[in-house]
Structure 1
Amino acid sequence: MFRSVVAELPADAPRVALHSVVVLATGGARGITAEVLRELARPGNTLVLTGRSTLPEAEPAELAALADAAALRAHFIAEVRLGALAMKPGEINRHVQALLGLREMRANIADFRASGAAVEYHAVDVTDEGSMRALLDGVYARHGRLDGVVHGAGVIEDKLIADKSTASWRRVVDTKVVGLLLLQKWLRPESLKFLTVFSSVAGRYGNSGQGDYATANELMNRICEHLRGRWDGRVAVSALCWGPWGPTKFGAGMVTAETEAKFAAKGVTLVSAAVGRKLFADEISRPAGGPVEVVCGAGPWERHEAEIGAWRERAPEPEGPELGALLGTARVLDAGRGEQVVALCLDLARHLYLQEHVIDATPVLPAAAALEITAEAAATLWPGWKVVEVREFRLMKGVELKEPARALRVLVSPPPYGSSEGFEVVAALQSELAAGRFITHYKGVVRLEQQLPAGERIVPRPHREKSLTVDRAYGEWLFHGPRFQVIEGFGGLSQQGAGTAVRSTHPSAWLRGVPADAAGWVFDPALLDAAAQMAWLWARAFRDESALPAKFGRVVRYAERFPERLRMEYERIPSDDPTLIRANVVFSDERGEPVMLIEELESIASAALNRLGGSARTAIDA
């Protein structure tokens, strides 16, 4: 297994002079390759740039006046509507991006020349051997030598491997790998000072949806190791494994919303243009013989490798580390296609609360506990982020424990989009029906951010139509055992809702073997269940029906830890469906500051459920 190590370089390390040099840069007119070449754009230096596109000197005046993508897109749409142009929407978008790319190239070349460098640009396919040989022969004929090479050409077409076409795979891999193979074939190493390739952390550590891109970069890394040995240490060979970049001088950088969310979720910092230029200049000015593969950018590289190695070592074990209160000794597994799995086991001996949530003589996992399990799984997978909300959390099929234990898993999709402020993942709580076949019990969307949001101060509302005592609620109407009995008083009930006093809980009260000083919940499942209990009680008081939760529309937490005593405001939402009880619920502290909000809690009401009232029983082996 490869390991990344920190290599401190002495402050007085020798540097190779990079004056009066001829440098070839594939893909050098755009993106991060162009950005770092500003370090070489100085009087006396010659930059030979290649790109796939033919570069016109200027664009038509009517297009040059359109400043951005939106203006260009609007122009072409208008042309299509007038019949002057025949383009589909996708073709318009591609044409706009191509024009913006040409603008970036012209701007970079002009900037290089303004800095004093001599610049050549050649439209070349780096995978075509005849074109590459002619290019290099021409450079040696015109300049007599080639001092440095920067192989920055690359193609990104992110998709899961199952969805990749052969042509797309070849475009991504061949541009980097075949391009490098042709370069080394026709280069004359006797005059070469440095060769550096632009690789990626995706090649070393992997990244969802970038199987082809990761393959291409890791192959380049290995080829560079071979070249260092073949050239006997006379050429400084390096593979710069870049992390994701922020904006460049004339471009948007490497980051899309999707890749930014994925990297940010792993604690990876974006490389700024200034930092990237300095890293590049430092690496190409080092003498030959140094490390070949260099990770460029801040991130938890060593920890990531250690976690991967540790997982492989313990994967055969039946149990993993403590991941969360309800998760317990769960395992994190790779499900493929970018998905991850948190595998756990519910057992009556540890999960004591299950013995107090019994329907028709069978312990049933409460929806509130299912939501907490899902939130804990997301918090485990992205430890540097905070779970701030769960939304559209729906019951598909209840989880019954007809045996003393039952295996479950939380299947978590990769983040489809996001930003440095936050991202969302889809998570499903499942069990296995047969080998490789799973049934989904609950499904929802989990949002993670850097900070918890702030809520609005709560002003309690009076509810005076009906009164209710705690004894009657838990002794006659509800079926929940002592661990769920967190409603401590009713301020009254009305057609509009109810106001109650509730208390929070700690995992040590719900689970065997959890110490009192252990970390608390993400969302307190007892409080979530208290909201569902209130729907049951409201339905019983005003309809003589009982109700079980089917959906949490949106649950938001505003505090890391909940105070022991809280107020719960249950505000009913009218519904045209007579079987549906809908409400918003907010929990606040003694000052009225919100600590948790539930929007659109939906419960299914039925008089048949009244049979469960008063069936609460004391926990077994408590």
Structure 2
Amino acid sequence: MTRHLRGLTFVPEKKVVLITGASSGIGHATALRLADEGHHVVLGARRTDRLAALAETIREVGGSADPHRLDVTDPDDVTAFVDKAVEKHGRIDVLVNNAGVGLLSRLDSLLTGDWNRTIDVNIRGLLHGIAAALPHFQRLGAGHFVTVASVGAHEVMPMGAVYCATKYAAWAITEGLRLEVDPSIRVTTISPGIVESEIVDSITEPDVRETMRAFREAPISADAIAAAISYAMSQPPDVDVNELVIRPAGQR
């Protein structure tokens, strides 16, 4: 169901927020919520038809959004995505590194193509975003990186060895970034549990796909994660929300 945006007047500071993987799931929900709160959202994903529809939904109720085709595995593409936003708006305030894939499989299935795709999107895509945005944040003396990781960053599940490894890497890279950058740049990791998404549809092994459908029978909404991102963003400049873990109350 489409959320109805509530208006823009109550927002004290409008930020330019870049969101990768914005065409569905958490990215889509985050774009709606942040636009609802008065921020300008720059939408990146490969499925341009969905991005265009999302941007139109936001604009129809007075929000502002720019859609851009984006492949996070291509460093030049990510750099252009960030640089164009800076050129148009004069700055960027937040980068939500949300794009990710969950190509789950048993290791003995030897789906090396899926392994490489997972590494390329979940790790290299994150690094490309950091490399593109960090110089702009350093120049401005302010900025906020938000990484969408997973509870898989903290535990390993059967059929998820490679996925969990990439999400642990995303957590480690983001934590390392927090330790290294000037405190004027805030860094947050969001680790969702079972959330409404299309992740199951991307699984190539039929048995694993059906197992995961059963496992994911009681997800929370993607907007619950969007709300956590909004919360981290809304804190005063001297408050850095380092990590939030959000999952269904019944998830063990």
TM-score range, shorter chain: 0.7 to 0.9
Q: Residues 569-584 of structure 1 correspond to what in structure 2 (within 5 A)?
A: none
Give the % identical residues.
24
Equivalent residue for 1:40, pick from 19, 29, 34: 34
Shift of the alpha carbon at 1:113?
1.7
TM-score w.r.t. length of structure 2 = 0.79
Aligned ranges 1:69-80 → 2 under 5 Å: none
1:20-169 correspondence to structure 2 within 5 Å: 20-42=14-36, 45-53=39-47, 55-56=48-49, 102=50, 105-169=51-115
Question: 1:470-496 deviations in whole A, cap 9, x for unaligned?
Answer: xxxxxxxxxxxxxxxxxxxxxxxxxxx
Measured in 2, the distance between the counterparts of 1:195 and 1:114 equals 28
Counterpart mapping for 1:341-352 below 5 A: none
Residue identity opposite 1:189 in structure 2: F
Structure 1 residue 124: deviation in Å? 2.1
Is 2:215 the counterpart of 1:262?
Answer: yes
Shift of 1:238: 1.1
Q: Which runs of 5+ in 2 are unaligned?
A: 1-10, 201-208
> Residues 171 and 137 of structure 1: is their aligned pair in 2 closer, same or farther, counting only changes over 3 Å?
same
1:213 alignment partner in structure 2: 163
Q: Over residues 554-612 of structure 1, what are the superposed CA-to-partner deviations in whole Å (9 max), with x where a residue is unaligned?
A: xxxxxxxxxxxxxxxxxxxxxxxxxxxxxxxxxxxxxxxxxxxxxxxxxxxxxxxxxxx
Aligned pairs for 1:581-592 (under 5 A) are none
Superimposed CA distance per residue, residues 113-154 of structure 1 (whole angstroms, 9 cap, x where no aligned partner): 223222222212212122222222222111110011111111
Verify: 1:277 aligned to 2:226, yes or no.
yes
In the TM superposition, residue 173 of structure 1 has moved relative to its aligned partner by 1.5
Q: CA deviation at 1:257?
A: 5.2
The 3-state SS of whatever aligns with 1:23 is strand
In structure 2, the CA distance between the partners of 1:106 and 1:185, relative to structure 1 (3 Å rule), is closer
Query: More relative contact order in 1 or in 2 (CA 8 Å, sep 6+)?
Result: 2
* Partner Cα separation in structure 1 for residue 116 and residue 15 of structure 2: 33
How far 1:274 moved relative to its partner? 4.6
Determine helix, strand or coil for the equivalent of 2:159. coil
**Pairs within 5 Å for 1:160-559:** 160-187=106-133, 188-190=136-138, 191=140, 192-246=142-196, 254=199, 258-262=211-215, 270-287=219-236, 289-299=239-249
Pick closer, same or farther for the CA change 1:44–1:281 going to 2, 3 Å: closer
How far does the alpha carbon of each residue in 1:499-535 deviate from its partner, in whole angstroms, 9 at most, with x for none? xxxxxxxxxxxxxxxxxxxxxxxxxxxxxxxxxxxxx
Aligned CA-pair RMSD: 2.6
Cα 1:259–1:278 change in 2 (3 A) is same
- For residues 45 and 291 of structure 1, the distance between their equivalents in structure 2, rounded to whole angstroms, comes to 19
Q: Does the 8 Å CA contact 1:233/1:289 hold for their aligned counterparts?
A: no
Distance 1:134 1:235 in 2: 21
The answer as to whether partners of 2:105 and 2:111 remain within 8 angstroms in 1 is no
Structure 2: how far apart are the matches of 1:260 and 1:271? 14
Q: Measured at CA, do residues 234 and 222 of structure 1 come closer, stay the same or move farther in structure 2, by a change above 3 Å?
A: same
SS in 2 for 1:41: helix
Instruction: Normalising by structure 1, report the TM-score.
Output: 0.34
SS in 1 for 2:57: helix
- Structure 1 residues 7-30: Cα deviation after superposition (integer angstroms, max 9, x where no partner): xxxxxxxxxx67321111111122
Note if contact 1:18-1:285 (Cα within 8 Å) is conserved in structure 2.
no
- Measured in 2, the distance between the counterparts of 1:168 and 1:28 equals 22
Gaps of 5+ in 1: 1-16, 57-101, 247-251, 305-622
Letter aligned with residue 34 of structure 1 = H
| Aligned residue-pair number | 229
Q: Is residue 112–residue 119 contact of structure 1 (8 Å, CA) maintained in 2? A: yes
Aligned counterpart, 1:323: none
Three-state SS of the structure 2 residue aligned to 1:113 is helix
The one-letter amino acid paired with 1:134 is: A
CA contact (8 A) 2:232 2:241 kept: no
Distance verdict in 2 for CA 1:135–1:291, change over 3 Å: closer
Shift of the 193–130 alpha-carbon distance from structure 1 to 2, 3 Å rule, reads closer
Q: CA deviation at 1:289?
A: 4.9
Distance 1:160 1:131, change over 3 A: same
